[in-house]
Amino acid sequence: MYRKKIVFITALFFSTLFLVGCSDAPSSLGVGLLGPDLANVIELNSETDSLLQNSTYYKRVLNLSTAQKFLVGQANGVLAKSFVRFNISLTSDEKSWLAVDSLEIVSAIISFYPIYQYGDTNSSFDMSGYQIRSDWTPQSIKADSLSFLDIDSSISQINLISYSDTLITYRLRNDMALQWFKAEAGLDTSINREFGLYLKSNSGTNKILGFQAFSTTAANQPKITYIYGKKGNSEVDTVDFKVLSDVHIIEGDFPQVSNENIMVQSSATYESKVFFDLSKLPKDAIINSAILTLTRDSVESLTGNRYTDAISVYALSDTSANLPVFDYLYTGSLSRSGNTYTGSVVWLVNKMFKENNLGFGLTIYNQVEGVERLVLAGSNNSNFSIRPKLIIKYSVNK
């Protein structure tokens, strides 16, 4: 009998919880925590309640080694440059031929497969490839680190063979191809290994292309095809070497945005921060929901053919340094519908309300892919209706 009472009481308890959880009242983070004498849910609207707000944007230099594509080209004032290294390996026979100078390079063709375009898609495209003569890793390269590399920019080591939207081929100079083989075999004293190419677009190019970055599984990775043989022998061998490591950097700047706007941009990289004064919230308020809405400037925004059209939002933990510090434990995402980006920031607003309100940090959803720029109406926009908007619903005890 005692056991049955426990089961009944337990079932009643969980049934009550289920009914409360299914209620239409906004109790996700608040109403359910209040006592029986609830006030009506109150809405605080940054627009209609005239909350003080301010916003700005700034540049942050990021390492782009985690990108799934590397970029080359120029468009809208931005230059994309890449560093690529190929995974060259040799057999013992090939090394022995090289040792007695009996290996001959017939050709070395580099194939690039475009997977991303930005800028004038009808523009011509060409690039140069310069020998890198010092060691590097993708993690060591940023836009401000180019001066630390030894790059022989006296002559391009590649020449365009053919171009299409799906395949671009370049011929690597035979003497460079042979030097890479000798370096891999430990026979070239001028360099101790193949450090790859520094790729940059030539004048007349008005678009940026993206190519598949190093991957163990992805198709259409750039490759270099060697055709070579032993001197005096008519037989030749063909072997492909795929990219071993790569990274791109972005130089230059987009045209300035209107002083009434802010922006977020990938690769360069620009971020924004938006602050709302929350002092109108009662000290005992329990916040049930918070929705942030940003309006896109479709004229000033510039995008490529493949990107995730969303904005990441973070609570800020420190704004005393040159660049704001994000609290990555408090984050959300704003998805686009029409000309606005909207999403829940209730978790972030609760932190700001209970701890320290330093505002929101905004970034493009993927900061290392492409060169997309999303321009948004700022806090000083002359059109009040498109300024950043924060709507908070909260409850207090009577």
Task: Report how far residue 49's alpha carbon sits from residue 74's, in angstroms, rounded to the nearest whole number.
Answer: 45
Last residue of a domain, one of 252, 282, 313: 252
Q: Is 83 part of a structural domain of the chain? A: yes
Last residue of a domain, one of 252, 281, 304: 252
Q: How many domains does the chain have?
A: 2
Residue with tokens 């929350």: 278
Q: Is 10 part of a structural domain of the chain? A: no
Q: State the pLDDT at residue 188.
A: 73
pLDDT over 70 (residue 17): no
Structural domain of residue 387, as residue ranges? 24-60+269-395
How much is the pTM? 0.83
Question: Do 121 and 210 fall within a single domain?
Answer: yes
Burial of 108 (0-12, 13-18, 19+ CB in 10 A): buried
Q: Is 3 part of a structural domain of the chain? A: no
Q: Is 9 part of a structural domain of the chain? A: no
Question: Do 49 and 83 fall within a single domain?
Answer: no
Q: Is 219 part of a structural domain of the chain? A: yes
Task: Report how far residue 120's alpha carbon sits from residue 78's, in angstroms, rounded to the nearest whole number.
Answer: 13
Question: Do 85 and 192 fall within a single domain?
Answer: yes
Q: Is 2 part of a structural domain of the chain? A: no
Quote the distance between the C-alpha of residue 190 and its chain's center: 37
**What are 185-219's pLDDT values in tens digits?**
988 767 667 899 999 999 989 999 999 999 888 78
Task: Report how far residue 143's alpha carbon sits from residue 137's, in angstroms, rounded to the nearest whole number.
Answer: 14
Question: Do 172 and 219 fall within a single domain?
Answer: yes
Q: State the pLDDT at residue 38.
A: 55
Question: Do 211 and 283 fall within a single domain?
Answer: no
Question: Do 377 and 228 fall within a single domain?
Answer: no
Over the chain, what is the mean pLDDT?
88
Question: Do 384 and 303 fall within a single domain?
Answer: yes
Q: In percent, how much of the chain has pLDDT > 70?
A: 89
Question: Do 236 and 363 fall within a single domain?
Answer: no
pLDDT over 80 (residue 7): no
Which tokens hold the place of 287? 């916040």
**What are 69-111's pLDDT values in tens digits?**
999 999 988 999 999 999 999 999 999 999 999 999 999 999 9
Q: Which of 65, 373, 77 is nearest to 249 (CA)?
A: 65
Question: Do 282 and 345 fall within a single domain?
Answer: yes
